[in-house]
Amino acid sequence: MHSTPQSFRAMCATRITSPDDPALDQLCAELAELANELDLTGAWPQRQLQLCAEYGVYEWFLAPQWGGQAWDDEKVVRGYLALSSACLTTTFILTQRTGACRRIASSGNLAAQDFLLPDLVSGKLMATVGISHLTTSRRHLATPVLRAERADGGYLLNGFAPWVTGAAQSAYVIVGATMMEADDPTPEELLIALPSDLPGVSADEPARLVGLGASHTGQLQLQDVFVEDRWVLAGPVENVMSVGSGAGAGGYQTSTLALGLTRSALGFLGQQSTQRTELGTPLDALQEDFDEVSELLFSVVRGQPDCSSEQLRKRANSLALRAAQAALAAAKGTGYITGHPAGRWCREALFFLVWSCPQPVLAANLCELAGIASD
Ligand SMILES: Cc1cc2nc3c(=O)[nH]c(=O)nc-3n(C[C@H](O)[C@H](O)[C@H](O)COP(=O)(O)OP(=O)(O)OC[C@H]3O[C@@H](n4cnc5c(N)ncnc54)[C@H](O)[C@@H]3O)c2cc1C
């Protein structure tokens, strides 16, 4: 065990116990205060993640047996909406961290759960995911980018995970790898909780991103890395991402964060419109769209969807892009100066065009941009 979560938690000021808790507003105010500087410096948001630990945010997603509060899906979505409206970068990192936790929790690997989850819940430990090459990245290449071979007592990994947020800051990376079997058209895949200090593992310098640069996302290189069987979470099996749950591609979580960003932009427009009546009509139209897309989101979360998750994502993406640009138009040249949130929101909104976008979502985005109808 890495530490006693209780002793760490003793430092906590106020733990957030529901999305209606005033402590959530308090945390959001602190995150929002730091958001512009985070964008300007691009430094890893250590302070923000520490605040999330102190406010008990990491507890929301996991069961009480690990020290969690096990919020239901609707509460989690409301929490994510509030946080992403305050600081998209911190919330995005949180989604990757939570994806890792959920993959561990839903695996059959009880020893890994016992060893990792209490410290992940308390915030003592950081983990992330490097799985996009099994879903939305490098899928058109003939050779898988991260390959596994059976070795005595474990697996030998070679290649790279193309996208890993917070790779250098994470003690464990949940990585997907493809088994190298000659001429197998549907090779089996593995999901591993990779200790990042194993020999042969190295994080590249983070990529320089258009937005969310402080997420420190980059490639994770693996050269002849031997991983013991005890770190395997799932597989080898075909389509390992369909086993258990966690950070899948194209789910409603991405739409939730797009709506969170929209909410910030609408807040700015609302503030401006108190002195500028001409902003009233566009603000009302965007707000109406926001209310509709929010309703769609919660219908999907409740399992009684009024639309497919692709349609939800398409509308959420479109809304985030339009609301951010409306905020910039209202902020005028002042908003185009680095450091103004409206310019940052525009860059951040572009992220939703590329983050975890399965082909149908990409196709719908392109139709929207081309001004043609999609299904
Ligand atoms: C900021 C950021 C953070 C991220 N964090 C994570 C993370 O923590 N964990 C994680 O698992 N994933 C993460 N992702 C990955 C993300 O979810 C997507 O998988 C990723 O954006 C896909 O982009 P890609 O360029 O790798 O796609 P690819 O499909 O690999 O495209 C790469 C290039 O290949 C070309 N290409 C694409 N398709 C074809 C084709 N059919 N034929 C020929 N050429 C083609 C295009 O020119 C394209 O630019 C992150 C992404 C971003 C941008």
Instruction: Give me the domains of the chain, ranges plus CATH numbers.
Output: 5-125 (1.10.540.10), 129-242 (2.40.110.10), 252-370 (1.20.140.10)
Angle, CA 228 vertex, CA 223 and CA 229 arms, to 5°: 125
**DSSP 8-state code for residue 204:** P
Report the distance separating Cα 215 and Cα 43, nearest Å: 8
Q: What are phi and psi of 158, to 5 degrees?
A: -140, 140
Q: For residue 181, what are the contacts with CB-CB under 8 A and spacing of at least 6? A: 187, 188
Assign 136 a pLDDT band (cuts: 50, 70, 90): confident
Nearest atom in ligand 1 to 166's CA = 8
Amino acid at 8: F
pLDDT digits (tens, 9 = 90+) for 33-85: 999 999 999 999 999 999 999 999 999 999 999 999 999 999 999 999 999 99
Helix crossing, 88-105 with 110-122: angle to 10°? Answer: 150
The predicted structure's pLDDT at residue 307: 84
The band of 127, judged by pLDDT with boundaries at 50, 70 and 90, is: very high
Token representation of residue 149: 């071979």
pLDDT digits (tens, 9 = 90+) for 290-311: 999 999 999 999 998 878 888 8
Beta carbons of 368 and 314 less than 8 angstroms apart = yes
What distance in angstroms lies between residue 72's CA and the mean position of ligand 1's atoms? 30
What percent of the chain has pLDDT above 90? Answer: 81
Residues near ligand 1 (Cβ within 6 A): 96, 128-132, 136-140, 162-165, 209, 212, 215, 217, 354-356
Q: Give strand ranges (E) for the chain.
A: 127-130, 146-151, 154-165, 172-179, 189-195, 201-203, 217-228, 232-237
Cα–Cα distance between 101 and 95 in angstroms, integer? 10
For tokens 């819940």, what's the residue?
121
Give the Å distances, CA to CA, from 236 to 233, 239, 318.
Answer: 10, 9, 38
Q: Model confidence over 331-347: pLDDT tens digits?
A: 999 999 999 999 999 99
Tokens at 67, concatenated: 């020290």
Q: Which of 39, 137, 216 to mutate to test the pocket of ligand 1 (most atoms within 8 A of CB)?
A: 137
Q: Which amino acid is at 142?
A: A
Distances (CA, A) of 237 to 174, 192, 245, 328: 16, 13, 15, 48
Ligand 1: centre distance to CA 1 (Å): 36
Longest dimension (CA), the chain: 72
More confident residue, 6 or 358: 358
**pLDDT higher than threshold 90 for residue 267:** yes
Residue 224's region, left for phi above 0, alpha for psi from -120 to 50, else beta, is: left
Angle at 327 between CA 326 and CA 329, to 5 degrees: 60
Round to whole Å and give the CA distance between 167 and 130. Answer: 9
Ligand 1 center to 346 CA (angstroms): 20
* pLDDT computed for residue 7 by the predictor: 42
By residue count, the chain amounts to: 375
**Residue 129 CA, closest ligand 1 atom number:** 9
Give the pair of three-digit tokens for residue 296. 């769609």
Question: Residue 266 in contact with residue 287, Cβ under 8 Å?
Answer: yes
pTM of the model: 0.95
For ligand 1, atom 44: residue with the closest CA: 140
For residue 139, what pLDDT is reported?
Answer: 85
DSSP result, 294-324? HHHHHHHHTT--SS-HHHHHHHHHHHHHHHH
**Local confidence band at 243 (pLDDT 50, 70, 90 cut-offs):** confident
User: Residue 59 carries which DSSP code?
Assistant: G
Q: Report how far ligand 1's centroid is from the alpha carbon of 363 (Å).
A: 15
Q: Which residue has the tokens 């000659």?
A: 182
Rg (CA), the chain: 21
CB 342 within 8 A of CB 35: no
Report pLDDT digits (tens) over 146-162. Answer: 999 999 999 999 999 99
CB atoms inside a 10 Å sphere around CB 321: 23
DSSP 119-157: HHHHTSS-EEEE-GGGTTSSTT-SS-SEEEEEETTEEEE
Separation of CA 136 and ligand 1 centre (Å): 6
Rounded Cα distance, 162 and 138, in Å: 8
